[in-house]
Structure formats: structure tokens, C-alpha cells
Amino acid sequence: MNYKQVLRYQPELRFINTNNLSNRMLKLTRGDLFVAYNVIKAAYEVHSVENFKINCMSYNVSLEKEMLNGFLYNDYKANNLRMFVKEVEDRRAKTNYRLEQAEENRLNENSSLKIIERTLGTKVWNLELYMKELLKQQDSIL
């Protein structure tokens, strides 16, 4: 699906390419965002092809006529990059947190024993404590 099909399903929209803005937005967003004029609302709007695929409405935001310039393109480009970088950083932080938690759980001997005990359903003796007890018993015997 492309922007032409979206315009066909929404006859109140007119494709606007002032300052080559729609073509640049379509190229930047790989055919997703474009600018259109809504005849019913008498307003310029940004529309999305992906949004139309999801809920059959392509409307994103209304724009003032003064906003139909290269600043919209540059602002979207900068904010999109910031959102992408922030999303990657958040994902990396979550992954690092999960890895740290897994490492702590792996190193925590008591929690490992509890998991094994829960799985087996019986009490598992700590080998180290068992050896200490045996040594104490041997010392007391001698």
C-alpha cells in the first residue's frame, strides 16, 4: 500500500507537495509520511500509510500553513534520530540489567540451591557445610 491508495480511500484529502516537502518526507520515511490538505477541515495535515494499515485512518497531526517548509522535514529527521537513539539506549540498558540480574542469580549459591530443591522436591545438602560437619566430627572423635 502507498500514499496514492490512502488518498483514494479518503477522498477529502488532497496531496500537497509545497516546497517538495511531501516527496522528501516520503523518501525519508520510506513511503510512510506525506502532507495532505483536508478539504472538510480546511487544514494541512501529516498522514501516515502505516497508520492507515493499522486502523484505517491515516491522520497524524494538523499543521499551520507556515509550517509547510523545510523546517518540518529537518525537525522530523532530527527527532526521529533522537527517538531511535533513545530506543536503542533503553533496549541496551534493559539487556544489561537482565544480564546483571542473571549473573547475580547465578553466583548466588543459596538461590541456586532453592531452585534445585524446589525442582526435586527434597532438601539438598550444601556440600561445603556437610564437609565441615564431617571434619568437626572427626576432630571430636580423635
Does residue 16 sit in the same domain as residue 44? Answer: yes
What is the extent of the structural domain holding 115? 78-141
Q: What is the pLDDT of residue 134?
A: 75
Q: What is the pLDDT of residue 38?
A: 93
Does residue 12 sit in the same domain as residue 53? Answer: yes
Does residue 57 sit in the same domain as residue 26? Answer: yes
Q: Which residues contact 87 (CB under 8 A, 6 or more apart)?
A: none
Q: How many domains does the chain have?
A: 2
Give the burial class of 74: count Cβ atoms within 10 A of its Cβ; 0-12 exposed, 13-18 middle, 19 or more buried.
exposed
Does residue 37 sit in the same domain as residue 83? Answer: no
**Pairing of the two strands 43-48 and 33-38:** antiparallel
pLDDT tens digits in sequence order for the chain, 142 residues long: 889 999 999 999 999 988 888 898 888 888 888 999 999 999 999 898 888 888 888 888 888 888 888 777 777 777 775 665 566 677 788 888 888 887 777 666 666 667 776 777 666 556 667 677 778 877 776 6
Does residue 31 sit in the same domain as residue 61? Answer: yes
Give the burial class of 39: count Cβ atoms within 10 A of its Cβ; 0-12 exposed, 13-18 middle, 19 or more buried.
exposed
Q: What is the pLDDT of residue 39?
A: 94
Cα 101 to chain centroid distance, Å, stands at 21
* Joined grid coordinates for residue 60: 497524524
In angstroms, rounded to a whole number, what is the distance separating the alpha carbons of residues 25 and 13?
A: 17
Confirm whether 101 is domain-assigned. yes
In angstroms, rounded to a whole number, what is the distance separating the alpha carbons of residues 2 and 28?
A: 14
Domain boundary among 67, 99, 122: 67
Confirm whether 49 is domain-assigned. yes
Does residue 62 sit in the same domain as residue 97? Answer: no
- From the list 77, 96, 98, the residue with the least C-alpha distance to 88 is 96
Q: What is the pLDDT of residue 124?
A: 58
Confirm whether 94 is domain-assigned. yes
